[in-house]
Structure 1
Amino acid sequence: MSALEILHRDPNSPARAGVLHTAHGDVRTPGFVPLATKATVKGLEPRDVKALGYDIVLGNTFHLFLAPGHELIKHFGGLHEFMRWDGAIVTDSGGFQVFSMGHGTVADEIKGRAPSGTERAGRILEIAEEGVRFRSYIDGAEKFMGPETSMEIQAALGSDLALVFDECTPFHATKDYTARSTERTHRWLDRCLTWHAANGPEHQLVYGIIQGGTYRDLRDESAEAVMARGVDGIAIGGSLGDHKEQMYEVVGWNTATLGDDPRPRHLLGIGDVDDLIRGVELGIDTFDCAMPTRLGRHGVAVVPDPEKRWRMDITGKRHERSEEPLMEDCPCPVCEAGMTRGYLRYLVRHKELSGLRMVTLHNLAYIARLMADLRDAVLTDTFTERAAALRAGDAPRAGLL
């Protein structure tokens, strides 16, 4: 039985709406997952995130492994107790972070060329069948992570959803390297599942990850391989291309192969407004991305302006004397309180933490309402029209959370 209860499917697209059942509560889908990378959504308290309408956050296995360490978090009763979040938690396996540091001879192999010598100082020391040796970005100490290590850490964290350890190949990887990497990822998937079956928490759902770069045959093979395993959910990872249309094409390949498979689908690392709309249209259930919080920390507000990629940089001179809120008729706690662009600009430019926090609050509130709007549209058979309106610059409807 799938952990995802599909309530309704859009008659004109693969979009679907449902409820993902976890040990720490239900997650409404389609939904967005804010990043609590290091056991905190930067600048916010757990009660802030809950009040914005979120059911789930994401913690990162790699970063929490390096600091404060999974054993310390286990001492506090797991990640839920450590950060005082009573909703669901998904933990990324750490694969992306390990491989995003790829330099040196490893990068040479990925690119299909001879070692250059000038790149030998990379932090990844070795990618082997056993796992990956790398140097910590904190103190330079040599560390190891493999499938069993990743699952052991996630078991100690006690997350509701655990992602298997995989190699996230970059866009510039050759097809030969991508094929070999994807096959190894499938072998690692088997090892993750074996370890979890013997040692993992009973409540913890395990997601397999589709790889294969931008090569359709490899993507199809990977999707089939992941579906054939006894995973509880399916994540789409790896390089999705170098522009949006290619990304949508790659994601579409995967969801087409998944077909009517009822298991939950998660798209890793994607969160721009237009990408969320298109992702739901392609049949994705959940997304995670640093976009709303990262933009907030740089004074960039998410607004209904597709011509400017749904972004407004409030640090510009033109906002200095503005008495406008970030958005008209916005029900977020910042706009509702009457905070002006001029005030927020001053706070952000002078690095006042309250300013960074308030723009982050606005951004996450916008994304929460966007996902609620898309979910409601699927449930009411109005998705095609509503998606078109949101793409054209309509603000997400208030009151749906």
Structure 2
Amino acid sequence: MNANPFELKKTSKKSKARLGVIHTAHGDVTTPIFMPVGTNATVKGITSRDIKEMEAEIILANTYHLYLRPGTKTVAEAGGVQKFMGFDGPMLTDSGGFQVWSLKQFRKITEEGVRFKSLLDGSMHMFTPASVMQAQREIGADIIMAFDECTPYPSTVDEADESLRLTLKWTREAKEWLEANPPIHGYPQYFFGIVQGGMHKDLRLKSIEALKEVGPDGYAMGGLSVGEPVETMYEIADFCTDHLPEDRARYVMGVGTPWNLLELIKRGVDMCDCILPAKNAQDGLVYTSQGVLRYKNQKFAHDFKTPLDPNCDCYCCRNYSRGYMRHLHKAKEPLGWTLSVIHNLHFYIHLMQQAKAHIADDTFEEWADEQVKILQTNL
């Protein structure tokens, strides 16, 4: 459908950690990469200028949310999602499969797709593989995702197999629709298939082999970080990357903490996204080079000399103290959330930059093991 956008540059000699580049019409994305989540075509609380200043190479938006508001045809009218939100870099759209699956009592899954009730106004809608691909054509992201049926945890073999059957059926239908309906914004969109199968390795392998026949431009691992033990998540991701094509990008969806990312990179994962940096920022929790900091705690009330992270050069850490940040949190000032989001995303993005540098000079594994211990420290 398209030329392979992924270029593998190097694989570590000590683990499966990789360096690569994803070439898109809106710029190159160097991997491993963390993608800030901009669900509604906005990263919570910050501007596109902030995103550029923290050197984010790619961000994620969500088809389900943009479909409901303002409508994907409206995004198309604006010239695509980058022009709509004033961000000129690469973007990826999640298909909305997880969102409609999570509605539970407000949706019904059928062979054709998912019928669901909008939580905005109660109206009824239907997502099919074709309609979701059309929506993502209209949004215009550089990387678009297959419409999948997210496998719950826990699930029996039979339940996971049935979920996988639907996902593979919908993926084939999506690919066929895309081949018959080219991009509408004048640049290529790369199609990623989603590996499902629950925590059952034989089903994960079945999913991978079937997806290889479909021939997506990249591979995502869905159904992880949905309640399973973290070691199980690592084990399944590790198993998947053993069998995924080496010449395609590998993406674990919806994960995770900074230490999760380092562990997944070690296991051959190239791309991750998660809402945690913004979500935890709202609660006064930030990630630092020294560990996890909850600056809303009383002990920081009079600390006017120390930034959130003494080793960070983000806008927040260059200008504000822990004591001031605690004040903003207690006063419920929106500025506190904005500054915390800036810090957390800057921290994630620059952690990935450090990871790439250590993979390049063959010191990643030792560095990552030490970082995993430090990052989980509670300050």
TM-score, structure 2 length as denominator? Answer: 0.95
- What aligned pairs does 1:56-95 form with structure 2 within 5 A after superposition? 56-95=58-97
- Which runs of 5 or more structure 2 residues have no equivalent in the other structure? none
Report the counterpart of residue 244 of structure 1 in structure 2: 230
Q: What is the CA–CA distance in structure 2 between the aligned matches of 1:81 and 1:20, rounded to whole Å?
A: 21
Deviation for aligned residue 1:347: 0.7
Residues 91-143 of structure 1: CA deviation (Å, up to 9, x unaligned): 000000010112xxxxxxxxxxxxxxxxxxx111x211111101001011111
- Identity, % of aligned pairs? 38
- What aligned pairs does 1:252-267 form with structure 2 within 5 A after superposition? 252-258=238-244, 260-267=245-252
Report the counterpart of residue 383 of structure 1 in structure 2: 364
- The code of the aligned residue for 2:217 comes to D
Q: What is the CA–CA distance in structure 1 between the aligned matches of 2:169 and 2:93, rounded to whole Å?
A: 20
Report the counterpart of residue 50 of structure 2 in structure 1: 48
Report the counterpart of residue 107 of structure 1 in structure 2: none
**Residue 148 (1) aligns with residue 133 (2):** no
- The code of the aligned residue for 1:86 comes to D
- The code of the aligned residue for 1:92 comes to D
| Higher mean displacement: 193-202 or 70-79 | 193-202
Report the counterpart of residue 106 of structure 1 in structure 2: none
Q: 2:308 touches 2:322 (CA, 8 Å); kept in 1?
A: yes
**Residue 317 (1) aligns with residue 298 (2):** yes
Report the counterpart of residue 342 of structure 2 in structure 1: 361
Q: What is the CA–CA distance in structure 2 between the aligned matches of 1:78 and 1:194, rounded to whole Å?
A: 22
Q: 2:26 touches 2:89 (CA, 8 Å); kept in 1?
A: yes
Report the counterpart of residue 268 of structure 1 in structure 2: 253
Q: What is the CA–CA distance in structure 2 between the aligned matches of 1:288 and 1:37, rounded to whole Å?
A: 11
- Among 254, 262, 279, the residue aligned to 1:277: 262
- The code of the aligned residue for 1:152 comes to Q
Q: 1:170 touches 1:239 (CA, 8 Å); kept in 2?
A: no
Report the counterpart of residue 289 of structure 1 in structure 2: 274
Structure 1 outlier segments of 4+, above 6 Å: none
Q: 2:224 touches 2:253 (CA, 8 Å); kept in 1?
A: no
Deviation for aligned residue 1:394: 7.1
Q: 1:179 touches 1:218 (CA, 8 Å); kept in 2?
A: yes
Deviation for aligned residue 1:303: 1.8
Report the counterpart of residue 210 of structure 2 in structure 1: 225
Q: What is the CA–CA distance in structure 2 between the aligned matches of 1:166 and 1:200, rounded to whole Å?
A: 21
Q: 1:168 touches 1:239 (CA, 8 Å); kept in 2?
A: no
Report the counterpart of residue 109 of structure 1 in structure 2: none
- Which runs of 5 or more structure 1 residues have no equivalent in the other structure? 103-121, 396-401
- SS at 2:56 equivalent: coil
Name the CA shift for 1:239/1:280 in 2 (closer, same or farther; >3 Å). Answer: closer
**Residue 123 (1) aligns with residue 106 (2):** yes
Report the counterpart of residue 167 of structure 1 in structure 2: 149
Q: What is the CA–CA distance in structure 1 between the aligned matches of 2:125 and 2:51, rounded to whole Å?
A: 33
- The code of the aligned residue for 2:11 comes to R
| Higher mean displacement: 239-248 or 134-143 | 239-248
Equivalenced residue count is 369
| Higher mean displacement: 76-85 or 196-205 | 196-205
- The code of the aligned residue for 1:391 comes to V
- Among 292, 296, 302, the residue aligned to 2:287: 302
- SS at 1:393 equivalent: helix
- The code of the aligned residue for 2:123 comes to A
- Among 81, 97, 100, the residue aligned to 1:98: 100
| Higher mean displacement: 238-247 or 133-142 | 238-247
Q: What is the CA–CA distance in structure 2 between the aligned matches of 1:381 and 1:239, rounded to whole Å?
A: 28
RMSD: 1.4
Deviation for aligned residue 1:161: 0.2
Name the CA shift for 1:204/1:195 in 2 (closer, same or farther; >3 Å). Answer: same
Report the counterpart of residue 13 of structure 1 in structure 2: 15
- The code of the aligned residue for 1:222 comes to S
Q: 2:252 touches 2:273 (CA, 8 Å); kept in 1?
A: yes
| Higher mean displacement: 156-165 or 234-243 | 234-243
